[in-house]
């Protein structure tokens, strides 16, 4: 029973359903990311590389011939569950695959942890077939995380320019939340990380009482108030590798 509850809690943290409103302090950002990746997943086919794969939380969304997870040494060595999912270790400089090896690339919440984004995007372009798709998510508003390996935040214009100069054409760019939703998500993150007791069990118990009401209020007000999207949590970008 305990194992089932832990598995349910873990699932609701990354792919939150209705229950996630009560127990997930990051419900708004996680819901937006999961929906965005799911929306564009059908465009990725053939042989896929998941750069910054972690525990491969989006694996079930893709119907591909081959799914290869790549991550850095820090992740692979520091997290047991993630390590079991990493197929290839990224050395911080090169992706050790032949040119035009992949039909598709997924890179979710990874680029902000790369100090030289042009270098890795050049490598991603190299191993992607012309016409192949890249599904990329990057934060615009979020606090520092996985420190000290947190190097950047991206506006919609910045990530578009960065992809273009590295051989990709943006097919569609979505923003995962609107202004009001972002405000409430950041408040919840602050309360969960800096006000609630440090003990994990107490955090879980108090989340439905002290955080869930703000999640519900943020969802409600975000739906009825003007949906300005100049302040948002994440960019979700579907791009295509240009020929040549």
Q: What is the pLDDT of residues 15-52, one digit of tens each?
A: 999 999 999 999 999 999 999 999 999 999 999 999 99
Using pLDDT thresholds of 50, 70 and 90, give the confidence band for residue 137: very high
Q: Give the lowest-confidence range in 15-19, 100-104, 162-166, 234-238.
A: 15-19
Question: Please, what is the Cα angle at 173 between 50 and 128, to 5 degrees?
Answer: 35
Q: In this structure, is residue 43 part of a structural domain?
A: yes
Check residue 77 and give its pLDDT.
47
Range of the structural domain that residue 50 is part of: 28-178+231-244
DSSP structural state of residue 239: E
Instruction: Count the domains in the chain.
Output: 2
CA distance between the termini of the chain: 55
Q: In this structure, is residue 2 part of a structural domain?
A: no
- 142 and 183: one domain? no
At 29, give phi and psi (nearest 5°). -70, -40
Check residue 7 and give its pLDDT.
83
Check residue 2 and give its pLDDT.
73
- 160 and 189: one domain? no
Check residue 82 and give its pLDDT.
53
- 77 and 133: one domain? yes
- 152 and 189: one domain? no
Q: In this structure, is residue 100 part of a structural domain?
A: yes
- 212 and 95: one domain? no
Q: In this structure, is residue 5 part of a structural domain?
A: no
- 69 and 172: one domain? yes
Q: In this structure, is residue 1 part of a structural domain?
A: no
Counting beta carbons within 10 angstroms of the beta carbon of residue 195, is it exposed (0 to 12), middle (13 to 18) or buried (19 or more)? exposed
Tokens of 225: 């108030």
Beta strands in the chain (DSSP E): 47-51, 66-72, 88-90, 102-108, 128-139, 168-175, 234-241
Q: In this structure, is residue 94 part of a structural domain?
A: yes
Cα–Cα distance measured from residue 50 to residue 23, given in angstroms and rounded to the nearest whole number = 28
Q: In this structure, is residue 12 part of a structural domain?
A: no
The half-sphere exposure of 206 on its side-chain side, counting CA atoms within 13 A, is 14
- For residue 169, the cross-strand partners are 240
Mean pLDDT of 105-121: 96
Give the tens place of pLDDT for each residue, 54-64. Answer: 999 999 999 99
- 40 and 120: one domain? yes
- 88 and 199: one domain? no
- 190 and 116: one domain? no
- 50 and 163: one domain? yes
Mean pLDDT of 233-242: 98
Check residue 74 and give its pLDDT.
63
Mean pLDDT of 110-135: 96
Using pLDDT thresholds of 50, 70 and 90, give the confidence band for residue 8: confident
- 88 and 188: one domain? no
Q: In this structure, is residue 76 part of a structural domain?
A: yes
On average, the pLDDT of the chain sits at 93
- 151 and 43: one domain? yes
Domain CATH for 94:
3.40.50.150
Give the tens place of pLDDT for each residue, 49-105. Answer: 999 999 999 999 999 999 999 998 765 444 555 567 899 998 888 899 999 999 999
């Amino acid at each position: 029973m305990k194992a089932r509850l832990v598995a349910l809690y873990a699932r609701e943290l990354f792919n939150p359903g209705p229950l996630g409103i009560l127990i997930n302090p990051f419900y708004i950002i996680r819901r937006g990311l999961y929906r965005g990746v799911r929306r564009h997943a059908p465009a990725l086919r053939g042989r896929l590389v998941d750069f910054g794969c972690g525990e491969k939380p989006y694996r079930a969304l893709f119907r591909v011939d081959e799914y290869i997870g790549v991550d850095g040494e820090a992740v692979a060595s520091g997290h047991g569950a993630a390590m079991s999912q990493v197929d290839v270790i990224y050395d911080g400089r090169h992706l050790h695959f032949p040119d035009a090896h992949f039909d598709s690339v997924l890179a979710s919440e990874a680029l902000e942890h790369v100090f030289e984004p042009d270098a890795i995007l050049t490598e991603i372009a190299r191993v992607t077939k012309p016409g192949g798709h890249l599904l990329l998510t990057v934060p615009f508003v979020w606090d520092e995380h996985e420190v000290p390996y947190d190097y950047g935040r991206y506006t919609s214009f910045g990530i578009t320019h960065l992809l273009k100069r590295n051989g990709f054409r943006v097919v569609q760019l979505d923003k995962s939340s609107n202004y009001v939703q972002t405000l409430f998500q950041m408040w919840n993150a602050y309360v969960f990380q800096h006000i609630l007791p440090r003990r994990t069990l107490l955090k879980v118990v108090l989340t439905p009482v002290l955080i869930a009401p703000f999640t519900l209020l943020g969802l409600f007000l975000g739906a009825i108030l003007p949906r300005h999207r100049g302040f948002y949590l994440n960019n979700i970008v579907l791009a295509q590798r240009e020929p040549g």
